[in-house]
Every structure is written in structure tokens, then in C-alpha cells.
Amino acid sequence: MSTSGTGHGGQGGAFPARSRQSGAHNRFLIKLTIISTLGGLLFGYDTGVISGALLYMKTDLSLTPFTEALVVSSLLFPGAALGALLGGKLADALGRKGSLLVCAGLFFFGALICAIAPNVPIMTMGRIILGFGVGAAAATVPLYLAEMAPAHRRGRMVTINELMIVTGQFLAFAMNAVLDRIIQDPNVWRWMLGVAIIPAVALFIGMFFLPDSPRWYAVRGRLDDTRRVLDLSRDPAEAAEEYNIIAEHAKRDVSEDKGVAMRDLRAYPWMRRILWIGCGLATVQQATGINTVNYYAPTILEDTGLGASAALVLTVTVGIVAIIGTIIGIILLGYFNRRPLLLTGFIGVAAGHTILSASFLLPESPFRSYLILAAMLVVVAFVQTFIGTLVWLLLSEIFPMTLRGFAMGIAVFVLWTVNAAISFAFPPLVATLGATWTFALFALINVGSIVFVYRFAPETRGRTLEELEDDFRVHDAAHFVHEAPAGVRGS
């Protein structure tokens, strides 16, 4: 069976025929998606909840501007950044399932420590532990879904994780507003942070009912397990065809493997090339400035003249728009190629930041406050519809099988490092340059992101992970496939 790349236009010779999957296969994929993406839900909740908790934590823990930034950014760096490296290594060593079990434990203990923290050092430690869980889950969940999904369902299955992330952020915003109303106590922030314990327990228990990835089994010579897992989610003909492709590629990749990921990267320029592109995609995703909205929206709105409670309630609209945008993005994946959607997103984000920048030039008034909120929602809508879903999807698809976990960990490490740098720099940047010039700078950066995506982002729709790897082996970055195969269906 041919497994050669499809070049720049063919039908994709190794692309398995789309089949009618049985009810049992669909039920298995739904169960797998719901359980594993609890990691995404926790990712979203733990990154979003701090925006509301900060309003009360400031007084209770006597936060200064520096310690406030420390509490927010410690989850991101060193937490999530190092957690991504940890998750990548664990995903290769223990399997995708084993890595997610570790994530569940980190989420549980991190949330518990944050909820009972008596001071800033303990809070920071809890946030770092949560960050380990967030980073490891960010590296592992998309890989797990991409490797488990049939090729024609890969896009939508992987991007369900992004839907769970924004759902987690929405739940954090909504929970903050609800608890603020029903618990009239300065310590309400402890309840806000502690709620995350519940989905952490559900993730830990649920993962015991799922198998590991067929591709992870294959590179470890466990081909019987590979076939068993494929049979759970494909009809017999499709499972047999995909098994042959995976087994052939695993044999070739293991025979070439130097045994250590860094040695492979030194030995094979094409691996280094695709890793650099992955790191670039991770960087431009965070350069949208989306997390300045997620982390600081209540603070920004309160500074425009709104009260704390009103700011919390209005911030819920950020979560609603994120969910709606993600759902629309998942639908669009079934009809359009990845690259045009990604480019549309960056154009929209650059425009949104331009509007946001100009809004701060207006005199203080309720109109100004709502215009700033509307501009933030434009940024959120374009990021979540076109960029958030697609970058995580591309990162789950582009790396070679034998070092997929390690490479994903490196890319997500870069993502969280950039996220932390932007989140930590945002308050002093606004204090120094003012909001107008800060958001104008984000607009300019996103113009640069458009250029990067246009030049280097590959088109991955309609090809198996093995076909993509074949293409990356033989083409340089300027000549990757930029179009999906003719007549492709699915995402």
C-alpha cells in the first residue's frame, strides 16, 4: 500500500475511505472526547477564574501590583510552560492516557492548595502546580484526540477541546458572578478557586475507562493493541487500512529513530523545520493578546468606571462570545481549509485591537465603557472562531510520530512562555504607554502574524497524520501543501 505524500494537489492516496461508523463506534468516540477534554475544561476554568478572584484576593492577601502579577503569571510561567515539557515527555513515556491521569492529580492538588492558601507564597505554589496540570493537559489532550480520531473527523474532534477550554473559562466567569451574589464574604475567592476540584476528580476516574492511542502503541511494538483500539472506533475495513498505514510508518520511524528526541532533531533537518513552524504558530496564537482579555477584563472594565460587580457580570459576555465563536469555528472546519480560516482570524484580531486602541481616546462615559467591551468581544470572537481552534489543531497534526509528544511539549512550552510574558508585562505596559498605545502595539504585532501564517502554515485538512509526515519530509517550508485534496469531505 502506498503511503507517499500527496504533493500539491492529489486525492491523498493513503487517506482512508470515509465510512459509515456504527452506533457503538460513535458512542466510543463521544465518550472518549467528553472524558479527555475535561482536561481542556480545567485548563479553561483555572486560567479564567483568577480574573474575578483577584478583585477580592487583593485585599485578603494584601496584593501589590507586583504580587498581583506574580499570582496571575505563576500559573503560566513557570507553571504551564514547564508543565508542557512535562506533559510532552510523559505523553511519550507513559502514553497519552498516563499523562492525563497525572494531569488530573495536578489539577486536584493545585486547586486545593489555592483554595486554602493563607498567603502569597502558598498561593503562588498552588498556582504553579495548577500550571503544571494546565500545561501538561494542553500538550496531551489534542495529541490524544488527533491520534484517536478517524481522519475525516480529526478536525472537529480535536477542536472540541478548544470548546471545552472556552466553556471552562465561561464557567469560571459565571461561577465568579454567581458566588459573588450568594456568598457575601471577602473570602468568596476561595470558593471560586476550589470548585475546580470536582472536574479534576471526574477526569481521573474517567481516564481509567479509556485506552491509549493506537499510534503510541504502534511505536512501542504493541501492534495488537493498535488494532484493538482502531476496531473500537472504525468499521473493519477502515480499521484494517489505517492499521496497515500506522504499522508501516511506525516500523520505518522506529528504525530511523536515534532513540533520543534531541538527537533526532539534530539528525533530521525536516524535523527541526516543522518544530520551528510549530513554535511560530504557538507564538502568534498568544500574540493575539487574547489572554489580556481573559485575565484582565474585569480590571479593564472596572478602570473605565464600572463597579466591580457590574464588571464581573459583563465579563460573562466574554465567555459567551468565546463559546459561540468556537462552535462556529468547529462548524466552519467542515467546509473550509485551515489556512484561509487562520488568515481571516488574524486580520479580524488586528482590526479589533485597532478599535480597542482608539476607544481609550474617548472621554470617560458609559458609552466608552461599552465600546471598550464591544472591541474586546471582537478580538475574542475572531480569536476563538478562527485562531484558537486552528492553532491547537495544527499543533496536534504536524509533528512526526516518534517525537510527537516531545515536540508538542516544546511548542506548548513556547506558547505558555509567550502567554506569561504578555500577561506579566501587560499591567506595567499599560501604566507606561497607556491603553491606547498598548493595544495599538498588539494590532501591529498581529499584522506580522498574518505574514508568518501566509508563508509557513501548511494545509492539513483531508490528510492522515502519516501523509502529512511524508509531505514534511520531502518539502521545505515554502513548498508545503497549501491546499486540501480535491473533493475532500469532513474536517
4-13, 33-42, 384-393: which has the minimum mean pLDDT?
4-13
Write down the pLDDT at residue 14: 42
Across the chain, mean pLDDT equals 87
121 or 463, which is more confident: 121
How confident is residue 9, by pLDDT bands cut at 50, 70 and 90?
very low
HEC-encoded secondary structure of 345-380 = HHHHHHHHHHHHHHHCCCCCCHHHHHHHHHHHHHHH
Write down the pLDDT at residue 305: 67
Average pLDDT over residues 451-477: 89
DSSP state of 79: I
Hey, which of 2-6, 244-248, 320-324, 476-480 has the most confident mean pLDDT? 244-248
Chain position carrying cell 470617560:
364
Q: What percent of the chain has pLDDT over 90?
A: 51
Average pLDDT over residues 96-109: 97
Residues composing the chain: 491
What backbone torsions phi and psi does residue 487 show, to the nearest 5 degrees? 75, 15
- At 47-70, the pLDDT tens digits run 889 878 888 888 889 888 889 888
- At 169-184, the pLDDT tens digits run 889 988 988 998 898 8
205-214, 405-414, 420-429: which has the minimum mean pLDDT?
420-429
Burial class (CB in 10 A: 0-12, 13-18, 19+), 65: exposed
Write down the pLDDT at residue 185: 85
Which of 486, 489, 480 lies closest to 455 in space, CA to CA?
Answer: 480
Write down the pLDDT at residue 54: 87
358 or 252, which is more confident: 358
Quickly list DSSP for 275-298: HHHHHHHHHHHHTT-HHHHHHHHH
Write down the pLDDT at residue 3: 36
- Whole-angstrom Cα distance, residue 176 to residue 340? 36
pLDDT at 299 over 70: yes
- Whole-angstrom Cα distance, residue 244 to residue 165? 34
pLDDT at 10 over 60: no
DSSP state of 334: T
pLDDT at 226 over 90: yes
Quickly list DSSP for 2-62: -----TTT---TT-PPP----HHHHHHHHHHHHHHTHHHHHHHHHHHTHHHHHHHHHHHTT
**Kind and range of the H or E run holding 96:** helix 95-116
* Half-sphere exposure for 285 (CA within 13 Å, toward CB): 29
Chain position carrying cell 465510512:
19
Domain ranges of the chain: 23-210+257-479
71-80, 324-333, 443-452: which has the minimum mean pLDDT?
71-80
269-286 vs 290-303: helix crossing angle, rounded to 10: 10
- Whole-angstrom Cα distance, residue 278 to residue 285? 11
- At 351-390, the pLDDT tens digits run 999 998 998 888 888 888 888 888 888 999 999 999 988 9
Q: Residue 140 in contact with residue 100, Cβ under 8 Å?
A: yes
How confident is residue 102, by pLDDT bands cut at 50, 70 and 90?
very high
pLDDT at 15 over 60: no
How confident is residue 258, by pLDDT bands cut at 50, 70 and 90?
low
pLDDT at 150 over 70: yes
pLDDT at 2 over 50: no
- Whole-angstrom Cα distance, residue 93 to residue 212? 12
286 residue type, one letter: Q
Q: Is 335 helix (H, G, I), strand (E, B) or coil?
A: coil
Displacement of CA 415 from its chain's centroid (Å): 9
- Whole-angstrom Cα distance, residue 133 to residue 351? 34
Quickly list DSSP for 181-241: HH--STTHHHHHHHTTHHHHHHHHHHHTTS---HHHHHHTT-HHHHHHHHHHHS-HHHHHH
How confident is residue 307, by pLDDT bands cut at 50, 70 and 90?
low
Q: How far separated are the first and last CA of the chain, in Å rounded? A: 24
Average pLDDT over residues 432-437: 88
Grid cell of 419 as nine digits? 502567554
8 or 483, which is more confident: 483
Q: What percent of the chain has pLDDT over 70?
A: 92
> What CATH class does 23-210+257-479 carry?
mainly alpha
Q: Residue 371 in contact with residue 197, Cβ under 8 Å?
A: no
Write down the pLDDT at residue 18: 47
Average pLDDT over residues 73-101: 91
204-213, 288-297, 320-329: which has the minimum mean pLDDT?
288-297
Write down the pLDDT at residue 5: 37
